[in-house]
A and B are shown apart, each in its own frame.
Chain A
Amino acid sequence: MAQAVPAVQKWWNGGKSPFNVEYGKIMMWYFLMSDAFTFGAFLISYGTIRFATNSWPDPNHVFNSFPGLGAGYPLLFVSLMTFILIISSVTMVLAVQAGQDMDRKRVAKYLVFTILGGLAFLSCQAWEWTHLYHEGAWWGHNPFPNHNGSVATTNFSNFFFTITGFHGFHVFSGVIINIIMLIMTLQGKFDQRGHYLMIEKAGLYWHFVDLVWVFVFTCFYLI
């Protein structure tokens, strides 16, 4: 190019990467932003209904069972689920860092841990759903009374199953994505490409799933 270098950097004239990230990664960010609005809409509709309802069941009396221990343990099982998801998010960060070091074995190792964490979380959710189903809760059915003893609305179980189900589906698809990443890593695909950017994108998705659980956990079990 014979042109003189302009005094002001023209970032958007082409030939440069103004955000300094790869296309796929920035699109993953924008997808996650849109997904945040989807989850936000679900949670805000839940909040609206709760604000419009005079009385609501106490989550500590509904979610108080632990496999093998029986009932009477509020918050215990959901704490376990929360920590499983946090730890699997940590192993995902370590997999991403290993990818930046181009260390195939370490990437594969941490991906396996992350997948196991995801499967453990899904198993916990499957147990909890089964348990609640046997208690008589399902879409359109709510056996739990309000905290003041009056009849509760079925909205309680409708929102619980819809939102935790939608989140669980995200966890499920995250596990599938991580399994695909693991296969590609083991095949040496990323070494051929010269970078592990796909792991970073899968990582963003996985952290988002953890992020959403922070909100779901707070809105359904704590408040």
Chain B
Amino acid sequence: MEQHSTTAVYHHEEHGHAGGGTKEVIRITVYLTVITLVELAIGFYMYKAALPEGFFRHFLKGLICALMLWKAFYIVAYFMHLKHEIRNLIMTIVVPLFLFVWFIIAFLADGNSYKNLRNKYDPYHIEQNDKKAPVEHEHGAQKEGTIE
């Protein structure tokens, strides 16, 4: 009985500040759509221009990652309503996620260092890497241009 009355209180309080309503939903949907289209445009450009590995390609990939995080912010803040929650609640959820900063840097750096070490000290590894794909596999690659 008591629980029932307390949950009813949340409802009424939330009812009061439910964010910007339908208008806000439409605005965020448009933002998400536009950002996705920009991401796809960059991805398509990287494919069409057949960019070589290098700084510019890495820069574009970084840009796509930044746009990805921007989209994630819109979904969490508005669709999941976190922006309108109490600050302490936001902190208990967002602060632990900062572990990812270390997590990403440490693991990717480790992977990169492993690659460099193997390329330097393991001739067999380099030999394996230079092996061309067999004909039957190239057949699969050639098929891509044709219509099934």
Which A residues contact B (CB, under 8 angstroms)?
17-22, 26, 29-30, 33, 36-37, 40, 44-45, 47-55, 58, 60-61, 64-65, 69-72, 74-75, 79, 82-83, 86-87, 89-90, 92-94, 97, 100, 135-136, 143-146, 149-152, 193-197, 200, 203-204, 207-208, 210-211, 214-215, 218, 221-223
Q: Are B10 and A207 in contact (CB under 8 A)?
A: no
How many A-B pairs have beta carbons closer than 8 Å: the answer is: 195
Q: Are B32 and A211 in contact (CB under 8 A)?
A: no
Shortest Cβ distance from residue B41 to the other chain A in the assembled complex, whole angstroms: 10
Give CA–CA (A50, B53) in the complex, Å.
14
Which B residues contact A (CB, under 8 angstroms)?
4, 6-11, 13-15, 18, 21-22, 25, 29, 32-33, 36, 39-40, 42-44, 46-47, 61, 64-65, 68, 71-72, 75-76, 79-81, 85-86, 88-89, 92-93, 96-97, 99-100, 103-104, 107-108, 110-112, 114-115, 118-119, 128-134, 137-138, 140-141, 143-148
The 5 closest A-B CB pairs, nearest first, are A51-B111, A70-B147, A145-B133, A48-B111, A52-B111
Given contacts A52-B118, A75-B40, A223-B65, 9 further A-B contacts (CB under 8 A): A18-B86, A51-B112, A145-B133, A194-B11, A195-B11, A203-B80, A214-B68, A215-B68, A218-B64
Inside 8 A of B22's CB, which chain A residues have their CB? 94, 97
With A72-B145, A145-B133, A208-B80 as contacts: A44 and B107 at CB distance below 8 Å: yes
Q: Which residue of A lies closest to B5 (CB)?
A: A194
With A20-B86, A61-B144, A143-B140 as contacts: A49 and B111 at CB distance below 8 Å: yes
Q: Are B115 and A54 in contact (CB under 8 A)?
A: yes
Interface SS of B by simple majority: helix
Q: Which residue of B lies closest to A210 (CB)?
A: B75
Contact of A197 among B10, B61, B118, B131 (CB under 8 A): B10
Q: Which residue of A lies closest to B47 (CB)?
A: A60
Inside 8 A of A214's CB, which chain B residues have their CB? 68, 71-72, 75
Contact of A52 among B47, B112, B130 (CB under 8 A): B112
Give CA–CA (A18, B103) in the complex, Å.
31
Q: Are B88 and A51 in contact (CB under 8 A)?
A: no
Q: Which residue of A lies closest to B118 (CB)?
A: A52
Inside 8 A of A149's CB, which chain B residues have their CB? 132-133, 138
Q: Are A150 and B112 in contact (CB under 8 A)?
A: no
Between A and B, 9 residue pairs with Cβ closer than 8 Å are A44-B100, A55-B129, A82-B36, A83-B36, A151-B128, A151-B131, A197-B11, A203-B80, A211-B76
Q: Are A194 and B4 in contact (CB under 8 A)?
A: yes
Q: Are A194 and B132 in contact (CB under 8 A)?
A: no
Q: Are A215 and B72 in contact (CB under 8 A)?
A: yes
Inside 8 A of A33's CB, which chain B residues have their CB? 93, 96-97
With A71-B143, A100-B14 as contacts: A36 and B97 at CB distance below 8 Å: yes
Contact of B75 among A29, A30, A70, A89 (CB under 8 A): A89
Q: Are A47 and B43 in contact (CB under 8 A)?
A: no
Inside 8 A of A210's CB, which chain B residues have their CB? 75, 79
Q: Are A22 and B88 in contact (CB under 8 A)?
A: no
Q: Are A195 and B8 in contact (CB under 8 A)?
A: yes
With A60-B47, A75-B43, A195-B7 as contacts: A207 and B75 at CB distance below 8 Å: yes
Q: Which residue of B lies closest to A20 (CB)?
A: B86
Give CA–CA (A37, B97) in the complex, Å.
8
